[in-house]
């Protein structure tokens, strides 16, 4: 596949994945990331849905007891694009030795402060994932991140390189469809659901494109699950991939 082609444009920047303007945008939100009514309110609503998928994937991949409160005990986990730690903290509570990496140092500083207040021992680092000497992990997650990186091909390869043999990768991202353009970009920004400039529709990745990116990195993609919305259910896992989806990947 070579350099991945997303929405007709080649996403090759010589391996540099961080976009400084994206890091600055999300870093500016660090101060109220943990406020469920603040600028990251949508992430607070999305997190339980993602966690339900993550927990089911953990149990399916490693055969852990669905009733266990610490299914990741003895395992390591890396969250890439961790923001202020909304996913890192639940992973730590599930028993994992957690590392969080983000492009914005403001975010990792806020994450470390919150984790300390919660009594959680989580390692946070800011920087380019491929350039950090952090080792490999049993579980690697990257939620709502790939649409923000400069070189998607290099980014997925970097994620794959962080996986131990037999490890599990979990990704989520908006799909590039007319529905997502209308609801996740135009309507969400117009109604203040997300800060302006959060999403750029042309950078959204379709499941087919993601499957190709993962294959280039030596990973096989599982069956994607949609993250949908309805007035009755709110955000929920769904068979409809039109807005957003979440998926596992493992080494081929």
Q: What is the mean pLDDT of each run of 10 residues along the chain (252 residues)?
A: 36 54 57 76 86 98 97 98 94 98 92 96 95 96 92 96 98 92 69 63 92 98 93 91 95 86
**Distance from C-alpha of 123 to C-alpha of 99, rounded to nearest angstrom:** 5
> In this predicted structure, what is the pLDDT of residue 12?
39
CA separation, residue 178 to residues 57, 198, 235, 245 (Å): 29, 17, 19, 15
> In this predicted structure, what is the pLDDT of residue 44?
81
> In this predicted structure, what is the pLDDT of residue 41?
74
Nearest to residue 250, comparing CAs of 211, 226, 222? Answer: 222
b/e per residue 32-57 (b: at least 16 CB within 10 A): ebbeeeebbebbeebbebbeebbbeb
> In this predicted structure, what is the pLDDT of residue 8?
35
Please calculate the CA angle 184-30-16 and round it to the nearest 5 degrees: 75
> In this predicted structure, what is the pLDDT of residue 195?
66
**Distance from C-alpha of 163 to C-alpha of 144, rounded to nearest angstrom:** 19
CB 4 within 8 A of CB 136: no
CA of residue 199 relative to chain centroid, distance: 14
> In this predicted structure, what is the pLDDT of residue 184?
74
Distance between terminal CA atoms of the chain?
A: 16
Nearest to residue 159, comparing CAs of 243, 97, 94, 248? Answer: 248
**Beta carbons within 8 Å of 63's beta carbon, 6+ residues apart:** none
> In this predicted structure, what is the pLDDT of residue 192?
56
């Amino acid at each position: 596949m070579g350099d991945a082609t997303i929405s007709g444009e080649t996403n090759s920047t010589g391996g540099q994945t961080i976009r400084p303007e994206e890091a600055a945008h999300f870093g500016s939100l660090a101060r109220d990331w943990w406020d469920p009514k603040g600028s990251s309110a949508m992430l607070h609503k999305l997190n339980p849905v993602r966690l339900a998928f993550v927990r089911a994937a953990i149990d399916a991949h490693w055969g852990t007891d669905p009733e266990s409160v610490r299914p990741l005990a003895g395992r390591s986990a890396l969250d890439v694009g961790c923001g202020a730690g909304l996913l890192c903290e639940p992973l730590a509570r599930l028993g994992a030795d957690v590392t969080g990496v983000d492009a914005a140092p403001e975010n990792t500083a806020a994450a470390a402060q919150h984790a300390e207040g919660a009594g959680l021992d989580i390692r946070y680092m800011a920087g380019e994932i491929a350039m950090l000497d952090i080792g490999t992990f049993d579980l690697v997650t990257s939620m709502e991140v790939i649409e923000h990186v400069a070189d998607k091909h290099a980014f997925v390869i970097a994620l794959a390189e962080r996986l131990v043999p037999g490890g599990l990768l979990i990704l989520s991202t908006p799909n590039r469809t007319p529905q997502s353009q209308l609801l996740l970009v135009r309507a969400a920004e117009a109604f203040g659901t997300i800060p302006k400039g959060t999403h750029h529709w042309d950078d959204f990745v379709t499941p087919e494109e993601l499957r190709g990116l993962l294959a280039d990195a030596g990973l096989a993609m599982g069956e994607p699950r949609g993250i949908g919305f309805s007035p009755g259910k709110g955000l929920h896992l769904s068979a409809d991939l039109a807005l957003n989806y979440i998926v596992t990947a493992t080494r081929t």
